[in-house]
Amino acid sequence: MAFGCKHTIHSHNHHFGWDNSNAPAMTVAPGESVFFETVDSSGGQFKDSSTVEDVVTLDFGKINPVTGPIAIDGAEPGDAIKVTFLDFEPCGWGWTALIPGFGLLTDQFPKPALNIWKYEADNPGASAFGTHAKVPLKPFAGTIGLAPAEAGLHSIVPPRRVGGNMDIRDMSVGTELYLPVEVAGGLFSLGDTHAVQGDGEVCGTAIESQMNVALKFDLVKGAEIAFPHYRTSGPVTNHLDSDGYFVTTGIGPDLFEGARNAVAGMIDLLGKEQGLNATDAYMLCSVCGDLRISEIVDMPNWVVSFYFPRIVFA
């Protein structure tokens, strides 16, 4: 089996939306590993030859497919499923898009855009190359979670108590993720794999890239956790830290507006200092820049900072 996994779940076992009535494609025992074949977040609608016209015709009914579900034997509500990321198998290319109506600054960027990235699939230390920058890779899974207890079909787009589309870039090799179980077996699914992303994914997409993923599953009985939590195996920004950062801020009584102002400030800075047009700068911010809450105690104003790694222009 791939990467030494005991089981493989193939990409045709994918679904759109969370629904606890979906029958599991397989049941695995705690301690076993599974190799997941995935479909990229466009549902295969984008190719490495795609143009911006493909953004215009994007079928939203096919976005964010997740492979699964699988059941973990013995999992019951109140337990937690521990998911360990073992490895990623990248495909060598990805895409970043501005999708009208989606993203932190959608009112400022109403037009569609698309950037295709290429990278060395067999080199985990490689960078993705676009038209205006190179970005060191950090493969991870953006959507990873369990089925909710509430009956019916639920959108993949918002994250939930049981995980889902969390877009946490640290869901990468070595991380141990704990997910609260709400239904028997847990019903785990995974998708929305990325080559790299900044914290915040501010334009709505990262370097979206199809990757297969090897995972190990364990069961923690009676964990009674309120929300997902995770442990990383080491530093989380060392792929970007070496050349320092450009940093802009947003200050005021609203964290969301602070985030918008910090990102808008970085787009302006990258235009003035690096010669990027605003659209390319916005997409690049989403790919590798990090939103951080720098201060949330000195009322009535809070500070949100946006960190952009200078290594991408080195």
What's the pLDDT tens digit per position in 56-86?
999 999 999 999 999 999 999 999 999 999 9
Phi and psi at residue 285, to the nearest 5°: -60, -40
Pair of tokens at residue 283? 């997409």
The arrangement of secondary structure in 2-231, i.e. its CATH architecture, is Sandwich (2.60)
What's the pLDDT tens digit per position in 182-205?
999 999 999 999 999 999 999 999
What's the pLDDT tens digit per position in 84-103?
999 999 999 999 999 999 99
Pair of tokens at residue 88? 């990623």
Distance CA 140, CA 262 (A): 25
Distance CA 156, CA 148 (A): 11
Under CATH, to which class is 241-313 assigned? alpha beta
Distances in Å between the Cα of 298 and the Cα atoms of 254, 258, 303 are 13, 14, 9
Delimiting residues of CATH 3.10.28.20 domain(s) in the chain: 241-313
Phi and psi at residue 179, to the nearest 5°: -120, 135
Delimiting residues of CATH 2.60.120.580 domain(s) in the chain: 2-231
**pTM: predicted TM-score of the whole model, two decimal places:** 0.95
- Amino acid identity, position 38: T
- Band the pLDDT of 314: cuts 50, 70, 90: confident
Answer yes or no: is pLDDT of 1 > 60. no
Distance CA 2, CA 255 (A): 44
Answer yes or no: is pLDDT of 129 > 60. yes
Q: Is 107 helix (H, G, I), strand (E, B) or coil?
A: coil
| Beta carbons within 10 angstroms of residue 120's beta carbon | 14
